Each structure stands twice: as C-alpha cells, then as structure tokens.
Structure 1
C-alpha cells in the first residue's frame, strides 16, 4: 500500500486550500501522520518524528524554499530504499530494491546532477533528492519533477540485465536528466502561466539531449533528437493542425516536442556558447521567480550584443515573437535558376494541403543556411544563419549553377524545405553515388522526411521520395533508417489492403538487405550504441513484413528458450524477435509465452510479451487473447488497453478480428481508461470504403458517445483520400522499379 501525489496542473487545491497557480509561490512546512510500518517522504528532509499514539507517527519536514503549489509532493508507503549516494536515494517496492534494479540509476545520478550544475553554472541548493519509483499501473506518465521528490514509473527508471535494452538504458539516463533539469527550468524559474509551459518542458526536453550528449557522446543523442522528437513534432502539427506554443489549451506534445524543437533552433542560430551563456543569465536573473517568454528573450539577447550579425540585426524577441504565438510552422520553397545561379526563397505556413503560395497574414523570421556541393560533411558544421528570411521572398545571387543545393543544414531550423524538380533529382543522383556520406546524416534523414511529407500532401510526386529512398541500400546510420521507417508508416498502412502490397514489401525488404547483412541477427562486441538501436528497428520491419529469414530466425531463438531457460533472447532483440516468432509460429509458442507472462513481474518484459502475443495471425489465437483481455486475470488493468491496441495495429488479421471483437464487447472496452484510443486506432487503420461504412454503422449504435468516434473517422478519411489520390503514383513506381 502507498499514497503519493501528482499535483500538476491544478490538483494541489484538492489537498490543501491554496491559490493554486504557478505564478503564486510560497514556502511550505509539510507535516504527515502515518501508521506504523510506513515511511513518509516529502520535498525536504525530515526534521522530527513524533509518536502520536494508537500506532501512528507524525513527521515534520524542513521548510521548503519558495515554490509553486504544483511542486508540493509527499509519499506515504511501505517502499524500501537504497543507501544514500550523495544527495540521492531511491524508494521503490521491496522486491525491486532487493533485486538491485534501482542500482544502475542510483549510480548515475550524482554524475548527471553535476553535469546539469556545470552546464547551468548554478549549483543546486537541495538538502536531498529522493527518487520515488511507482508501479506502472498507478503512474501513466514517465516521471514528475517535484522539487526534491522526483517520481518515476518503474518502466522508466529500473534496470535489469535480462530485460533492459540499450534504449532502456538511454531512457533511464535521459529521464533522470529531464527531471533534474526541471529543478532549474520549472522549479527554480517557473513559467507564470500554463500557456508558457514550453519554457519549462521545451528546455527540459531539449537539454536532456544536449547535456546527455556531453556525458555519453557515443550515443549521438543530438542526432537522435531529429527522429525521436522533431519528426514527431511535425507529425503532431499534421494531426492536430493549428497549435501555437503559447496556448493554455494545447495538446501535450506541443510544449515538449514543438517547444524543444524551437529551443534547438535557437541554439543553432545563436551558437552553443552564446545560447548557454544566455540561459545561464536567464536562470541567474530569475531564480525563485516567475517568467514570461520575454524574460527569456531578454536574457538571451545580452550575450549576443557583440555578435549581432548572427541574428541579421534582429533581436531574439523580434524573431521569437513570430514563432511563439503562431499556428503551425513554416516551409521554404527553394527555386534555382540554372543559367544565372540565382536562388529564390519563398516562405509560407504549413497547412494540410500546401499550395506554395506566400502567407499574406503572417511572416516568420526564419534562419536560412545552405551548402552547395559539399565535399565532406564538415561543410555542414556551421549552422548559424547565412541570412534571415524576414519577408515573403528573398533572391540570393550566386554564381553556382552546377551540382546540388541543401538548405537547412543539419535540419537545424524548425521548417521544411521544398526544392525545384531539377535540384531534387541532383540530390538523388548524389545520394546514389559512393560519396553520399559527404552530406551530413541529419540532412540525408531530412530529405527523406521532407520528401515523403510533401508527397503525402500532393505537393511532390511520389517518384521523388521513392527514388531518393533507394540510396538506403548503401546507408548504415541509425538516424537515416529511423527517419525512413517513420516516413513509410503511412504507405505500409494504406497499401496493406491493396494488390500492390506484396510489391511494396519486396521494395522495403530489398532496401534492407545490405543493412541486415551488415548488422546481422545477433549482437557482437563491435556494435556501437546506434548499431544496437538500428538492428532492433531493422529486424522489427523485416519480421513485420513477413521476411522468411527473420521469421525463421526468430522462431529458432524462441524455441531455444523454450528448451533451455538460460537461452532467453537478448534484451535488444526481444521486442522484434518475440513478435516475429509468434507471427511465424503456432499455438505451442504462443502458449509458452503466455505462461511466461503469468509469472513475469518486470514491466518492460511484460510489455514486450503482451506486444508479441498480439502478433499472431491465427484467428483462433487472436480471439483467445481478446477473451483473456476482457475476462482473464493475467493482465493488469493498464495493460488491457495496450494489448488491445497492439492487436489492432499488428496487421490486417488483427485489425479484422480485433475490430469485430471490440464492436461485440464495446461496453466492456468503453469502461477502460482512455478507451477512446481504441476507436482512434481502428480509424487510423481503415483503408477501404467498406471498412469505413462499417465504422459509421458501429458509431450509430452508440449515439451517446458519438463524439469519441470523430478522430478515428477523420483518420480513416485521410487514408481513403490518400489511396484515391496517390495510389496510382506509388503503383506506377513500384511496377517500374521493383522486380
């Protein structure tokens, strides 16, 4: 038994009377009464304990420093704790502590805190930092940054040699960093209202990558930011069009993903040194206070006064005020004159259907940098602006008429770039050459991401992104493949019911042939961190697309585990290969894994097992699993929803059976927390008019919740419209280029 708090945004008022807004700060003395056998924790150290009789105790804690109400925190539990390591101590379930699963995180915390203090040049004033680990079923979010009392769910913080992958280890480090950074951004210096949440979350999200890169350079976290955060931000802009940074009612992804992407653009524009001095100035001037965006802009302006050329004579405020309250994001249309060398840059605002007309209502201040015909990727190193595009159109006079042009080096600016057709073709020719690595990997990934995105809106024929993607047969870098996998999700979904799907699968499998040979199916001593992440991604797609070797290898590894308990699949390979084995296997393999699930306690391993059990393509097995989700006792309540979604997303068989089952038992599924997600997933997988009509009929039976169907119906229409408009383009290319 335990009780813990999470007061963001407005829950403190339900526990104690308060002006429960972030711009109101106070010092708090917390006093907690609890029964014998329990422990009380709060933001500060305990200063006294008193036996108040009848088996109860009263703890009084040291007065906190000035802080907002949402940061007040306490936990009363029967958790055990680790030994103290510097300022740090971890509380968690006794089994977790006894098995040493908190030891890795504890061992990293002092080093991570020192790195944050060094970067900010402001030492923390903590009397202690307690890290409380809560079972996943009670905490859906990864972590919460309460001052001196940070809470995490188990999946985020715990480490096990048999289940923790390289990505899990990376998540432990970056999550701790994120919450420690919040002790400055958010706790010490607090946004004055929730509409400015990006001043806290945007910085914590970006700086977890920036400071993490200083600590673990081989992980290349700054490169990973592009596919992990920035591309997801663009996808959010597509799905939820019309969201500004400064908005009290924003989608949750906005302050985290969009906010951090714009913070990253600021750093690239100012240079890392000036950016760092600026945020040090910001924290120093505003500590213990509340801030608005203008306070940040003024602080960043101070160290740039002697380098005003970096901003083209504009101020930070001039620039950022075109970004922080504006809907969506910009794109740049780049047109070259191949006789004179002149380049025309035209800006516009992204809409779901780009027409490449200037936006008469809004002009962004956009940092433009570019490179012609780079001989090495070092020519992409300087990402400050060559000029600022502060009007609709700008003409750049150059003498370069040959070769290719790249705009937005290292994808440093939060905008997309559309080129004229000749430049696209020159870029494709270069990428297909042996010298393709002279282009920075982030720009190789950018070209994939931009081209597929423009194509799905009808702004670019699919011939361009598909031609461009063929260079990947030479590629080895994780970031480029991660960007590609993000980009082809739409095609894989929409083509899955078309007659061209087998050809599409052949196209992907052919592209992955060389990288599969390079990485192999087993880990080796020479693997880099990114190799391990890349192998997991590649094998996931191979098995998902029905690659015979992937299925056979996965099945062989699972059967080895079935025969010998010590031959458990390596953590980095568990997710793709367990799914691949169940997809290729029979009921015997499924039953083995299901029995393992019954006794598995580790939340990461349970998640992988549930996902794998969803991968079967046999009707009776899927129905059996759905019966277990609805009526069984094996799953925790929070797992039932994720298992249902995994079935629906596993492929056409899972979608067909899962949709019918959900309709038949809808009242049961509707009682699940966040059950509307199921309807969104079903809608997002619909690709035919017949499926859409069935979904509409399904909706008509439940008039009282019809609004919950709207996002799913919108997703379904997007898929069907895509097929009506672009299927022929993709079919023609596949027929011509795939043998």
Structure 2
C-alpha cells in the first residue's frame, strides 16, 4: 500500500524547444545502440518541472514515490505518453490544469482556478518503456497541467543498476550497515520514477528523501531543510534545494551511514567525500585532487563549477562498469578512488559541464560528448602534471584504433567496440584541432559553445560551428574552410588514411598522396578510391625541429594528391605529422626512412620528442606489416633502441615483437629473431635493474615488467634462472596446493625453457587445485601450462592428459582455453594439428555428442598456419578425411582460404626478415643460439 509519507519526490523542470531543434542534424549520425528506446516520445507535451518524493528501506524490498510533473501542452491531446517501468505499481494518477497561455494574456481577469481533469486509466505496457495516461477529455494547446503519479516498485537486489542497495560491516560497531544509491545511466531514470526520459527534456528537480534519523541522504543539490515525520518516529524528510534545468539521467540520491570529509579550500563550492568510516583514511587526498581538477576545468570553460556543491561517494560492493556521474554527486567503486592517479576523477568531473550543464539532444550525439570529455580528461591530467595516471595517452589509444580501422571488417559485429572506437577517433579529431587551430583558439571556440548552450541541449554541429567561428575570427582557417567539413571527413568513415610521401631530393619537392590505411590483407576493399579526408600537413625538417610549431603547412582538402615545394636539402630528413597531431600514419620513401634511422642512432635523437620517436617506430612496422614498407627498413628503425630508455618509445616495440614472432613458424628463423630480441632488450634490462626502487613510478615498473616478459620469452638465461629459482621455492613447499608463493611472471619462462619435472609439477597443481581457492588462479596456471611450452613432446603429453584421457578435472571450458592458448605459439598449433591428425578417429568419437568442442579443436588446429608447408599439411588431411570432418567441414574450407593470404605474406616478408637478421647478428658478432 502506498503511504502518503513513504515517498521521494524528484522534481525535474525541463525547458527546451525540441520542435525547432530537431530540425537540425549532426554530422555524427551513428546511433548509440543500446541507449536509444525503440521510439521517441511525441512532442505534444513538454515537461517543465518535476517534484519527486522518495522513500525506501531494504527491510521490505519496496520503494515508493510520488512524482508531480508540471507540463505544457504543445498540441491538443487526450493522452499523456511518458516513460515508466513495466514493474511499477501505479497507485493513483491525477491530472490538474493549473494555467494556460490564454489566461496569461487575459491577466486582468480573476486568477486561474485549477481544474481537475478526469483520468480513465494509466497503463504501463509490458515490453515497452511507455506509460500512457488516458484522459476523459482532450486538453487544449497552451494549457499548463500538473501530472501527479503515486507508485510503488520492488527494490532490485543488485550492486549496480538504476537503484541498488548493499551492506557492509562497520568495523567499529561490528554492525551490518546498509545503503541505497541510484545509478541513472541514460534511459534508466524511467525505472525509478515516471518521467519524460529523453535527454532533450531538461528542467529543474526538487527532491525530497525520507530516511532514518541516524542515516544521511545526499542528492544533486545542498540540503535545504529537514523535518520530522510525526507518524513515523525516528524518521525525517530531507528537502533539497531545486536544481538548475537538467536531464532525467542527471538525478541522484544516496542514503547511507557513511562518514564524510570536506575541503576547506573554496568558499564558492562545497567539496565533500563520503565513505564507510574505516575506509575514509584511504581517501584523505581526494578532495585536494578534486579541487585541482575543477580549477583546470573552470579555467578551460571560463564557467564556474555549475553547482554549489559536489559530493563524491565511495560505494562498497559497487559493481558497475563505470562510476555514476550524476550532476553534483559522483559514485565510485572504492578501489577507483584509492588509485594514485587522477584520471577517474577528472573523467567524471568533466561531465559536470559537458553532459550535465550542456547536454546532447539525443544519443546520436553522445559520441561527440564522450569524445570531448575524454579529450578534456587527458588535457586536465596533463595540466595538473599527473603523468602516471595518463600513462601512454594518446599513443596506446591511437595504436588500438589504427588496428581496428585497418581491418577488412572493422568492429566485427560488436556494437560496444564500434561505440568505443568511434568515440576514440572523435577524441583524436579534437586533439588534432587543438594543435592545428591552436590551443587558445580551440579553447575560446569551446567557451563560446558552452556560453551559448549551458543549461540547454546541443547537437554535435553546435560544437563544430563554434570552433569554426572562432578559428575564422582568429585567422586560423580560411573563410571557405569549416571545422564541420574537417570533422565530418573523419567521423563519417570507419576508416583512417595513410599519407605516402615521395621526395625529389634534387628539386627539394615532395608529392603527398592519401589513401585508405589497410593493415590486414587482402587490400581489396570496395570503393577505397573514393575515401578522402581533410588532412593537416604539419611538416618539420632536420635543420628546424621545432616541435612546438603545429601550424599546418597546408591542408589536403579532400584532395588525393598534393605537391610541396622547397622542403629540405637532399641530406636532411623530414617528419610529417609529428607528435601524432592527426590520427594517421605516414610512409616515406626509403631514403628518408634511412636518414631518420641514422639520426636516431646519434646522441641528437632526443631532439625528436619521445611521442614522435614512438610514432616513427609504430608507423614503420605497421606499414611493413601491411606490405607498404620493407621489413628491412622497419627493423632499421629499431636500431636506436639500444640507447632508448623511455617507456613511450618502447611500448610499440613489444607489440611489434609479439606480432612478428607469431608469424615466424620456422625454428631456424625463430632462433635468430629471439637472438635479436635479446640483443635489443638486454641493455634496457640492465639499466632498469632487476628490482624496483622505493620511489619508482608506475611507468618505469611497467617498462621493467614488459622487458622481463619478452626477454624471458626470448630465452635470456639470467631471466630464466631467476624464474626457476623462484619456482623451486614452490616445488619445495610442504603443502604446495595451499597457494602459489611466486609471481605469475615466473610461470611462463619456467614452462617454456625449464624441465619436464617443473612443467609436470605445475600440471599436478591444476589436478589437485583446492576448491576453496580462487578459480582465477587455476585458470591462469592452466593458460601458462598450455600456451608457454616450447617442447612438442610436453604439449603432446598435455593433450593426451586433457583430450584423450577424458580426465574429470578438465571441463569443456578448460578444453576451449587449452585450444585457444595453443594457437599463440607455432609449436603449439603445429603439435595440436599433428595430434588431431594422428588421433583423428579417437578424438572424433570422443566429441560426437559435443560438436562445439570438435569444431573448436579443428579451428585451433588448422586456421593459424602461415606457410605453404602448413597449408600443404592441412590440404592433405582434408583430402584424406574429406567426408569425416562433419560439422567442422566449413572450418577447413575457411582455413585454407585464410592461410593462402598468410602464405603470400610469409613468402613476401620472411626472407627479408631472415636476411636482415643474418646481417644484424653478423655485424654484432652474435650467434642465434647464444
């Protein structure tokens, strides 16, 4: 039963003229799938305010509320359509006309008398987010009415979601305490209260929360007053100040017994951090970080923090993928607030301006909102000099989208990957604009946008238009150039360009050509000749390495080819797109690459900043991988690394080592490649030292860890001996199944280069793994046992144990994992293939009732070969067993087609790689077997 006082009222005033705004279109037309409801609400009614009372306790698993929505009728209608959860129990619905535009025009007459409008019924349709109120008579255009809905809903038992509750143990009192919090991601406010749950409807909230006297409630705005509930001793109502206009997803409450600490720095705003009392000592520096972040963002936007306060809550047992960034109230996992860096805080605080103060009209512009917030986060973290929390930005992000957009089929069928990579690409477009039109002009353009759209909604075009206006005003763009056109050329394509540069060294000229960057083969993308971009050409020469000058020498204005005159002398290199100003790789002629490689091997290499050194390596090996550059040239670009100590420059090299290593099936070439790796990494390993220092930052620790992993993988003896020494301690334990006392990093070197006894000891630990221990530890051990061994005999014995013996210790999920891990090592998948070939009938019989496991095994055993020899093996087996593969028949046909491409790659590149390795080892007086 709904109790009059058992309610919470969220009041949201929404003012926006959607009818005219929706005629505009943004260039970012990609829909944020999963965030958009099946249909838009009609525009016949516009909400102008909400008042919401809300009360719940976990004791009865019910929350109840009453929402009052003041709305204006844009058209005559006898139905009110809004959003509401199908699980709502509607207790009572009232509609009262409280005014009209006609009454305002005739203000000389007597005051408007409220008119009760009869309600026939209120229906929440199952399978739909729509709540429809049917009226007894139409309400005329220009009328102002109050819609009052009393409702109840079961409180979900969850640790994330629109509303959730959980408990924790108070260490001081030994009591179990509970708390309740909201997490209104887009489209989820409707699960908490009936509302017009679209971002374009913005309005103020007035929020009221009923709570126990010994608890605390917080919401978007400061507490206005508290009053006792006379009918319920020990309970009070908290009434909060009205919010500015905001979208429904910005609303929030937390009811808890948390302690809090406040910042005393600013008189303009109250910054307060909340947590369970015994966790609070871990958060004492959070308010200081928040103040620094807000100072940077206020300076960037030239707009003060939009609300009088900001509460930041550390929630126990919070399991959401990301924090709740409601306006004026941020909720985090406890671990997210204790991290050293500031990234998590800066990211969510950025949404206080962009997303809450100014809000996208619809989810099609959410990508632009997300992208600009991510750019601002990086900008803010750099400004407060919190380098550890930014790590390799933007390089790591750049690398991942280069890989994604250079695939034959970007994103696959994953909407999540598409959303994230699209937002990442737009973020890089913002970064490119910040460089090319200048940081000051860029900031002033966005300030113009925010001044115009604060407390309102925006389309993506509003951002681009403000930047265009400011760039033209500052003479950074010609009058015939718009940021909208530049941005559209990047945003509307699921591809990225590459610039090919051919220099004429005699005439000091260069021809630049743009084309689609395709890393995967074959490069037969349909209509690729039609893809062109607006590309800024920032060019530096060896005699003028001014990396602070990011003004483009010219723009490629959707042009396939341009020529540049008077660029550099014949003995000087050029660098185009330094510091990754734009998200595109650059390919030079061989002579320019070699000039760069030689310069980087001199003491002057630090004249080229580390981001650009990393770019040159990354571009070179990606272009070689794609077939656009000789691997000999790409490998020459790594020679300077013997003297390189910066993590940013090394980061792409580890990926390079991994990718190329996976393509080398020949044991002879593998030995040479591993010798090259040892030669490359040993000086870095000795410089970093074996153990971390007390004041070491995260970046150096990460570099040491990566260096160790790849040196151990390449057979570096000191590394292997260290791993074996640590492993021996485990083997000598009296009860080795109680836990693994060594670091995970030691397992793979031991299983790859160690003895059979060492491997078998690890295998026994899987067989005897105690049920009470974390299963993730067993999974990691099983992965390394399968994926690391270098000895075919060990791998074959492992397959006999797990596949043929049908040991009860190994479930179907274990077999999937084993198959998958074997595909990462040529000896692994070669042995798996031979095991399948030699035991075909036994394996087929074993998996007769499990075709999914049979298909998985055949896939892993046949699809990753990369040479003609491997292809011949598979073809022969397929010919011999053509009628026996059953459900896996399609796997073989697909494998043969894919391997054909890999064979071409191997034939083109492996002889070049081997020849380079031979020359390298000879020049360094090194044997492959050392």
**Pair in the same fold by TM > 0.5:** yes
Residue 202 of structure 2, aligned match among 25, 42, 45: 25
8 Å CA contact 1:683, 1:714 repeated in 2:
no
8 Å CA contact 1:347, 1:358 repeated in 2:
no
Q: Aligned residue for 2:42?
A: none
Deviations 1:183-234 (A, max 9, x none): 212222222222322322212222222211111265494x822322111121
Residue 275 of structure 1, aligned match among 427, 439, 442: 442
Helix, strand or coil at the partner of 1:453? helix
- 1:147 pairs with 2:315: no
For residues 322-337 of structure 1, the aligned pairs below 5 Å read: 322-337=489-504
CA distance in 1, matches of 2:467, 2:482: 9
Q: Aligned residue for 2:516?
A: 349
- 1:541 pairs with 2:710: yes
8 Å CA contact 1:380, 1:409 repeated in 2:
yes
Residue 244 of structure 2, aligned match among 65, 70, 73: 65
Over 3 Å counting, the alpha-carbon distance change for 1:335 and 1:79 in structure 2 is: farther
Over 3 Å counting, the alpha-carbon distance change for 1:528 and 1:16 in structure 2 is: closer
Shift of 1:177: 0.9
Q: Aligned residue for 2:310?
A: 128
Over 3 Å counting, the alpha-carbon distance change for 1:251 and 1:132 in structure 2 is: farther
Q: Aligned residue for 1:438?
A: 607
Decide which structure has greater helix share: 1
Q: Aligned residue for 2:35?
A: none
Q: Aligned residue for 1:216?
A: 385
8 Å CA contact 1:88, 1:110 repeated in 2:
no
8 Å CA contact 1:493, 1:685 repeated in 2:
no
8 Å CA contact 1:298, 1:317 repeated in 2:
yes
Shift of 1:645: 11
Which is worse superposed, 402-411 or 247-256? 247-256
Shift of 1:488: 3.4
Q: Aligned residue for 1:731?
A: 914
Q: Which runs of 5+ in 1 are unaligned?
A: 160-168, 565-572, 633-639
8 Å CA contact 1:679, 1:712 repeated in 2:
no
8 Å CA contact 1:582, 1:590 repeated in 2:
no
Q: Aligned residue for 1:372?
A: 541
Decide which structure has greater strand share: 2
8 Å CA contact 1:73, 1:146 repeated in 2:
yes
CA distance in 1, matches of 2:214, 2:898: 52
CA distance in 1, matches of 2:309, 2:901: 54
Over 3 Å counting, the alpha-carbon distance change for 1:294 and 1:419 in structure 2 is: same
8 Å CA contact 1:10, 1:70 repeated in 2:
yes
Over 3 Å counting, the alpha-carbon distance change for 1:666 and 1:655 in structure 2 is: farther
- 1:258 pairs with 2:258: no
Helix, strand or coil at the partner of 1:195? helix
8 Å CA contact 1:344, 1:396 repeated in 2:
yes
8 Å CA contact 1:554, 1:577 repeated in 2:
yes
- 1:300 pairs with 2:467: yes
For residues 161-200 of structure 1, the aligned pairs below 5 Å read: 169-170=340-341, 173-200=342-369
CA distance in 2, matches of 1:529, 1:238: 31
8 Å CA contact 2:449, 2:462 repeated in 1:
yes
CA distance in 2, matches of 1:467, 1:576: 30
CA distance in 1, matches of 2:326, 2:584: 34
Which is worse superposed, 537-546 or 457-466? 537-546
8 Å CA contact 1:4, 1:74 repeated in 2:
no
Q: Aligned residue for 2:454?
A: 287
Q: Aligned residue for 2:293?
A: 112
Residue 516 of structure 1, aligned match among 678, 685, 703: 685
Residue 484 of structure 2, aligned match among 307, 313, 317: 317
CA distance in 2, matches of 1:540, 1:36: 56
Which is worse superposed, 507-516 or 112-121? 112-121
CA distance in 1, matches of 2:910, 2:308: 59
Residue 158 of structure 1, aligned match among 338, 343, 368: 338
Over 3 Å counting, the alpha-carbon distance change for 1:526 and 1:438 in structure 2 is: farther
For residues 245-644 of structure 1, the aligned pairs below 5 Å read: 251-309=418-476, 314-352=481-519, 361-374=530-543, 379-390=546-557, 391-398=559-566, 400-495=569-664, 499-524=668-693, 527=696, 530-556=699-725, 576=745, 611=780, 614-616=783-785, 617=789
CA distance in 1, matches of 2:283, 2:343: 15
Deviations 1:19-52 (A, max 9, x none): 4333232434556678999876654456658598
Shift of 1:264: 0.9
CA distance in 1, matches of 2:336, 2:234: 35
Over 3 Å counting, the alpha-carbon distance change for 1:218 and 1:492 in structure 2 is: same
CA distance in 2, matches of 1:285, 1:370: 36
Deviations 1:427-478 (A, max 9, x none): 2222233332222222221111111111222122212111212221121111
Shift of 1:285: 1.8
Deviations 1:297-330 (A, max 9, x none): 2222344344324569623233223222233122
C-alpha RMSD over aligned residues: 5.2
Q: Which of these two proteins has the greater Rg computed from alpha carbons? A: 2
Relative to the length of structure 2, the TM-score reads 0.62
8 Å CA contact 1:348, 1:356 repeated in 2:
no
Over 3 Å counting, the alpha-carbon distance change for 1:439 and 1:188 in structure 2 is: same
Shift of 1:282: 1.9
Deviations 1:339-360 (A, max 9, x none): 1111111222334566999965
Q: Aligned residue for 1:89?
A: 273
- 1:227 pairs with 2:395: yes
Shift of 1:527: 4.7
CA distance in 2, matches of 1:114, 1:600: 46
Over 3 Å counting, the alpha-carbon distance change for 1:582 and 1:501 in structure 2 is: closer
CA distance in 2, matches of 1:599, 1:51: 51
CA distance in 1, matches of 2:410, 2:808: 40
Deviations 1:540-581 (A, max 9, x none): 3223444332233345467789999xxxxxxxx966457657
Helix, strand or coil at the partner of 1:347? strand
Which is worse superposed, 247-256 or 105-114? 247-256
CA distance in 2, matches of 1:595, 1:89: 46
Helix, strand or coil at the partner of 1:400? coil
Shift of 1:403: 1.8
Shift of 1:363: 3.4
8 Å CA contact 1:88, 1:129 repeated in 2:
yes
CA distance in 1, matches of 2:415, 2:781: 39
Deviations 1:151-191 (A, max 9, x none): 444554434xxxxxxxxx33xx1121111112212222222
8 Å CA contact 1:575, 1:608 repeated in 2:
no
